[in-house]
Amino acid sequence: MSHEAKDLAPQVRTFATNLSAVLTGVLPGIEGPPLQVLADRQERHISVRQGLGVGLPLKIDGQTMMRLKVSYRCTWNTEREFLSVDECQYQVLPESLTEPLLRYHYRRKPSGGLPSAHLHVHGHRDEVLALMVGGKEDRRVKRRLQEIRHGRFPRLSSLHFPLGGPRFRPGIEDVLDMLRVEIEIDVLPGANEALRRGRTVYRQMQLAAAIGDDPLTAAAELARLGYSVSPAPGDEPRLRNPEF
């Protein structure tokens, strides 16, 4: 492992430990550590993903009905001070099927004007597909029409539903909570507390990152609340990341 990856590794292990605590505190039937930490071949990123290739079991009335696949690719933030998630994905798949029901995807530097954090819904609705090819003929519509001419019809899963951007995107706790409430998957007795703790850690981490992106707004709000805030010597407060 390179020196850069070694320096990052302790933060990634702490991050993975917090995620594992949420998963093992909510889901029954997890055997062994739910997540593993691996450096990529170039050793510029460190990945966190579930140990089971088929995904973690999601049970209903004691029977595994779905699987949860979790993956993160971690690197340094721009200032090389803190861990940053370069890409992450949560997939919910029916048992024994390869296509997910839904997929949460985040990419820090998306291409083609796509939203950095987005949701894919895998299903079929004629009304939505008609809208996908019925708008003005921009680049995306032209590509979809060309695919239809070749016998490949557009799929609902190709739409990217935006989800809060880099800082305010859903965490794994939100996915688990949705499955608990809407699908009524089996959860452990302490699930609510595990979700609460996990959300607190995640949102504090995201809030700290958002403050680093926009210290001017953070300082103004703290001043409004009665705090005394002053910039570091030689530091000019500015909006550091307009796309947070």
pTM attached to this predicted model: 0.80
How many residues are given for the chain? 244
DSSP secondary structure string for all residues of 164-223: STTTS---HHHHHHHIIIII-----TTHHHHHHHHHHHHHHHHHHHHHHH-HHHHHHHHH
Better-predicted residue by pLDDT, 146 or 179:
179
DSSP code at position 34: S
Burial status of residue 159 (CB atoms within 10 A of its CB: 0-12, 13-18, 19 or more): middle
How does pLDDT run across 182-224, given as a tens digit for each residue? 889 999 999 999 999 999 999 999 999 999 888 889 999 999 9
Confidence (pLDDT) at 135: 55
Instruction: Determine the average pLDDT of the residues in 88-117.
Output: 90
The pLDDT value given to residue 15? 95
Which one-letter amino acid corresponds to residue 92?
A: V
Count helices and strands (H / E) in the chain. 6, 8
Q: pLDDT-based confidence at 239, cuts 50/70/90?
A: confident
- Residue ranges per domain, the chain? 3-108+166-224
Distance CA 31, CA 24 (A): 9
Residue in this structure with the two tokens 């005394």, named with its chain if needed: 228
DSSP 3-state of 118: strand
pLDDT in tens, 21-55: 999 999 998 988 999 999 876 667 899 998 778 89
Of residues 154 and 119, the one with the higher pLDDT is 119
DSSP-derived secondary structure letter, 180? I
